[in-house]
Amino acid sequence: MLPYDVLIRCKNEMRDLPEVTRSLLAQTVQPNKVVFVDSGSTDGSKEFALQQGFDVIDYNAPVFNYSESLNLGMAACTSPRVLILSAHCILVEDTSVEKMIESIDVFGAAGVFGRQLPTEKSNPLDVRDLLTVFGRERIIYEQHPFFHNAFSLVERSVWEKVPFDDRINGIEDRLWALEVCRLGKKIVYEPNALVFHEHGLNQTSDSARALRVCRALSVLHQDDVVKFSRDVCGYE
């Protein structure tokens, strides 16, 4: 079983960070190290990470970019595999990571993402989205993958060949998975690896986020039959 590092991206997540850390330390397979990319936290998150012995990296770009923060953290990881975990995603079972590792080994995948469950605090819109998208059946993607970096395990050697595309701010995970499949590799959805994710896929009804995601999706789906409205996506 190849070793792995953990990559956590964070900005002001102190409410959930202690429980996330507890769930990580309870895993049956422990990481070599935790790389913590902090985007200017002011609530004690960075100080907490330092106390835990995490490798803390400051990311202070004028405009936050998901791909940039991920690539920065991935570059600091040294193990063959990297578990990417949002700072508010709590591992449900102590075998969650072990099951992801088993899946990536059995199917020879470049990346695996797990099932995300809502919490009792989740907005109904987020509950709807999570239960609709993250089902109970394993899916092996080879051509048109879905992928989600709130809870995923990736082969670092594949990332070295295909880093996250910082020209697109949003759905960087899906674009990465698409490029990986074009190289003949597999992406696996592993429903037996579980995390709680209160905020869900679409951050409830954040219209600004929706517009940014639509712009990125228009790149991902540019060859589809149904085209995105140029007005909606905000293009000239």
On whether residue 217 sits in a domain, the answer given is no
pLDDT at 216: 58
Closest CA to 83 of 196, 193, 198, 176: 193
Per the listing, tokens 């907005």 go with 123
175-183 mean pLDDT: 96
CB neighbours of 160 closer than 8 A, spacing ≥ 6?
Answer: none
What is residue 226's predicted lDDT score, i.e. its pLDDT? 53
pLDDT exceeds 90 at position 13: yes
Confirm whether 77 is domain-assigned. yes
Q: Determine the residue type at 68.
A: E
Total domain count for the chain? 1
Average pLDDT of span 185-192:
98
Asked if the model's pLDDT at residue 75 lies above 70, the reply is yes
Res 207: pLDDT:
62
C-alpha–C-alpha distance, residues 51 and 49, integer Å: 5
> Which one is predicted more confidently, 231 or 148?
148
Contact between residue 89 and residue 80 where contact means Cβ atoms under 8 Å apart? no
Q: Which pLDDT does position 197 carry in this prediction?
A: 95
pLDDT band at 200 (very low <50, low <70, confident <90, very high): confident
Of the chain, the end-to-end C-alpha distance in Å amounts to: 50
Find the CATH number of the domain harbouring 166: 3.90.550.10
Separation of CA 125 from chain center: 20
Q: How many CB atoms lie within 10 A of CB 209?
A: 13
Q: Is the pLDDT score of 223 beyond 80?
A: no
- Domain for residue 225, yes or no? no
Q: What average pLDDT score do residues 79-96 get? A: 97
What mean pLDDT comes out for the span 194-214? 70
Please indicate, yes or no, if residue 107 is contained in any of the structural domains: yes
Q: Is the pLDDT of residue 235 over 60?
A: no
pLDDT per residue as tens digits for the range 140-175: 999 999 999 999 999 999 999 999 999 887 789 999
Span 127-146, mean pLDDT? 95
Integer-rounded Cα radius of gyration of the chain? 17
Per-residue pLDDT, averaged over 105-113, amounts to: 98
Q: For residue 224, is it within any domain? A: no
pLDDT value of position 22: 98
Q: How much of the chain, in percent, has pLDDT values that exceed 70?
A: 85
In a domain, 230, yes or no: no
Predicted confidence band of residue 210 (pLDDT cuts 50, 70, 90): low
Sole residue written with tokens 């990580």? 24
43 belongs to a structural domain: yes
Range of the domain at 187: 4-205
What value does the mean pLDDT take over residues 197-211? 68
pLDDT for 1 equals 81
Sequence-distant (6+) residues with CB within 8 A of 130 are 116, 117, 118, 122, 197, 200, 201
Question: Average pLDDT of the chain?
Answer: 90
Contact indicator for 187, 181 with CB cutoff of 8 Å? yes
Residue 61 domain-assigned? yes
In the chain, which residue ranges form alpha helices assigned H by DSSP? 17-25, 45-51, 66-76, 96-106, 124-133, 156-161, 172-182, 207-220, 230-233
Q: What angle do CA 222, 180, 109 make, to 5 degrees?
A: 135
Phi/psi at 52 (5° precision): -80, -5
Task: Give the Å distances, CA to CA, from 18 to 15, 39, 98, 122, 228.
Answer: 7, 18, 21, 19, 41
pLDDT of residue 62: 87
